[in-house]
Each structure stands twice: as C-alpha cells, then as structure tokens.
Amino acid sequence: MRKAAGCIVQNGDKFLLIRRSSTDNRFPGIWECPAGRIEEGESPREAALRETKEESGLEVEIIKDLGIHETDIDGDHKAFYCFLTRAKNIDVTLSFEHDAFKWLTLEEYSKMSKEEGYDSECKKIGHHTRFFFMNFFLKKLQD
C-alpha cells in the first residue's frame, strides 16, 4: 500500500491549489493540494507539513485532521491522509514540480469543479483533492 499525505491550505476564505508542471510524467496539469509520499519513520502529519513547505514554500499550522481517503486504481492501493491547515504566510514559492497556483474561495472552487468538457479545469483536479473538497467543504455551500 502506498501512503501519502497533504494539506488543504486555507488563508481567510480562500484555499490554495497548485498545478503540476506540464513536464510531470505522471499527472501533468493536475490541480491539487500540496501533498506527497510519507517517508519511512515519518508520521502523516509530518509528511503533510514537509510536503506543503517543499511544494509551496508555505509554513502552515494544522487546524483539523480530515481523515483518510483510500483508493484502488489499477491494483494499486493508496491511502491519502489530509489535513486542513491555516497559512502562516501567503508568499507561495512553487517547487520545480509545479508551475502555477490559485487561491480560490469555495464558490470559485465549486464553479471550477463543475466545468464541462475535455479540457476543462474540472477534469484536471486531482481525485484526492476533489474528494476532500466535496466531502468537507462544498457540502456547506449546499446546506
């Protein structure tokens, strides 16, 4: 089983999405929250904070543990641990793995996630990021 962890980074009423570089060999152009593999001896919390710093340059504090999203894709079982965090600063410095970022309100994310068409931004939101936004944040907009 592969284990990864990441952070949904909040700054006021906005949330950070970063886009994988077009040269990425696995998921080019995918919008996601900062995340990556949990290294040996590392807790999910530690990995999420480390990956957020590496990929966005941001220092964050964990507000809430959002849980685990488990998937099976092509026989590969993956567990993704996610944390809601608050940005201590907003000066994003992207790693070489990413080429763009957006700070979006929930309404803007909701609109982006509903776009249709092959080249739409909706098709380019990572499945773990989509899962946590849909299950923890967008429900509030619908209530």
Gap between the Cα atoms of 121 and 34, Å rounded? 17
Q: Return the residue matching tokens 């980074």.
A: 9
Exposed, middle or buried by CB within 10 Å (0-12, 13-18, 19+), for 3?
middle
pTM over 0.85: yes
The CA distance from 43 to 91, in Å, is: 26
Q: Which residue range forms the structural domain that includes residue 89?
A: 2-142
pLDDT digits (tens, 9 = 90+) for 88-127: 999 999 999 999 999 999 888 887 777 644 344 545 888 8
Say if CB 22 and CB 28 are below 8 A apart.
Answer: yes
The tally of domains found in the chain comes to 1
**pLDDT tens column, 1-22:** 899 999 999 999 999 999 999 8
CATH number for the domain harbouring residue 91: 3.90.79.10
Separation between Cα atoms, residue 22 and residue 117, nearest integer Å: 19
Query: What tokens appear for 3 in the block?
Result: 């284990």
Residue 65, H or E segment: strand 60-73
